[in-house]
Structure 1
Amino acid sequence: MKKKVLITGGAGFLGSHLCDRFLAEGYHVIAMDNLLTGDISNIEHLMGNKDFEFHHHDVSKYVHVAGDLEYVLHFASPASPIDYLKMPIQTMKVGSLGTHNCLGLAKDKGARMLIASTSEVYGDPLVHPQKEDYWGNVNPVGPRGVYDEAKRFQEALTMAYHTYHGLETRIVRIFNTFGPRMRLDDGRVLPAFISQALRGEDLTAFGDGSQTRSFTYVDDLVEGIYRLLKSDYAGPVNIGNPDEITIKEFGEEIIKLTGSKSKIIYKDLPKDDPKQRKPDISLAKEVLDWEPKYTRGEGLKPTLEYFKEKVLK
């Protein structure tokens, strides 16, 4: 019998790529998703695979899987501002109740659990680059608080299960990630810029364009997550690409890459939007022997081809 892995949010951008990876590694994969922000088209190519099953379910209610289970990967959550601002209660519930249900399942099955945390736990950081021992600068009652605090609570609850129950847990702090299967309309800068450039529209940047982001290609992220899951390190680990770029520079890069005649226009920066984002990945290098292999340019090529099919069809 093949070992089983449960991936919540399995029809999402990251979850679907993880399904691919674990099937390739010889696991039986159970993807669970309520399709609130996930898309069944992300996993349609897996539906005929005897080692893959899909459960249309909301993990905030309960989680049940029959039989043995080796791993639980909790990736269910709205993850973009446009989603969690529209669905604040659901975002808090999947980060709290959903995490509690998944941890309970892992404890019952004797499974190892990995949670998808985020660089947003650092808020609008006062420390740069961001290292795992930085506690963050988060506004709990601001518009982004529903996502930031859901993830911070998720980390705290996971660590409580680790220390109190002795549960094998792993925490990955994910920085901006991109690649095929990203949603065009999720409000994040990369899909917005590429979609606008392909349509010949002006690129909409918020703030004056001086704020920074660091973009990780999805294959690098999946490799980092896989190594973390298999490691013996229980603390949070940053997985991201430290190649930092300003929003203005990134917009210019997308215009050049697409051959668009678009311009960059600037609008007011949303409240509590981070001014800087760059991971310190020293810990990942040390405990996982991991660092990104793909440059931003290398990752943008397949991403652009994916977006062309969606935007220009």
Structure 2
Amino acid sequence: MPAAVLVGPARIEVRDAAVPAPAAGEVRIRLEGCGVCASNVEPWAGQPWSTFPGEAGGLGHEGWGIVDALGEGVSDLSVGERVTMLSSHGFAPYDVAPANQVVRLPDALDGQPFPGEPLACAMNIFRRADVLPGQTVAIVGIGFLGAVLTKLASDAGARVIAISRRAESLELARAYGAAETIVMDDHWAIIERVKALTGEALCERVIEAVGKQWPLDLASAIVGFGGRLVVAGYHQDGPRQVNMQDWNWKGIDVINAHERDPRVNLRGLREAVAAVAERRVDLIPLLTHRYALDELNEAIAATRDKPEGFVKAVVTFG
């Protein structure tokens, strides 16, 4: 099969690779597509600890498709079922996944792209945020993840303040339920605006969904006394500094919302499928750019650069 291989900084090539065989307890999926994650950008660009070439299909972890083969002992899935899954080599037409990390897609989602892993992340982050009705929730960074979290928080009865750089991102946040939007340009001006919107109390919940130092600083600054800072951004390009004096003074809880327990991730994936199937989350407007496998370099560059109208890219097969 053709498979994307990271062969050097900002250089992915499509090479021949063996079609994987499912081991005991696994299934093989013939992929319809795989989402491109913002966390792909740093490894693709190259990091000091990077080694090349990478694994065939590597970096791809947002796949969906059709069950193609069953490993020994798998009895609760069938060949031909349409599924989403948690796997790690989805930038290729076939991938394998543990059967207990696969979720069937209902008929209501027939024909619809479904990168399940980032939706599962949103569900798990939201659960860890413990958003309550009547709270003010600031979300710093409105991309795919921030938009879904905006919808979940607003539906839970919170007043959402969306903070992001691009005007079109703030428009997206309003469409997904944000009550207030603030352009992410001036640190102190944003803090003053949040104070004005909250009667100086700041926010009970702040979700940082960027993965960079300044958004983390900003998120820390706008959490109110006894509030909760939820780190949803994926910080993978080096150490971070935090204002521990501010954290201490305000007595805030800090939640690192990236789950690693497979059982929790599966729960999030099931919740994600239900949320989209029941039309509580509209996925289609968020999947804005589609690419072929041999265009993966362009897809990741677009994820980094965010051209006009960009929210999320998917690679499609066939």
Structure with the higher helix share, 1 or 2: 1
TM-score normalised to structure 1 length:
0.37
Higher strand proportion, which one? 2
Tell me the TM-score normalized by structure 2: 0.36
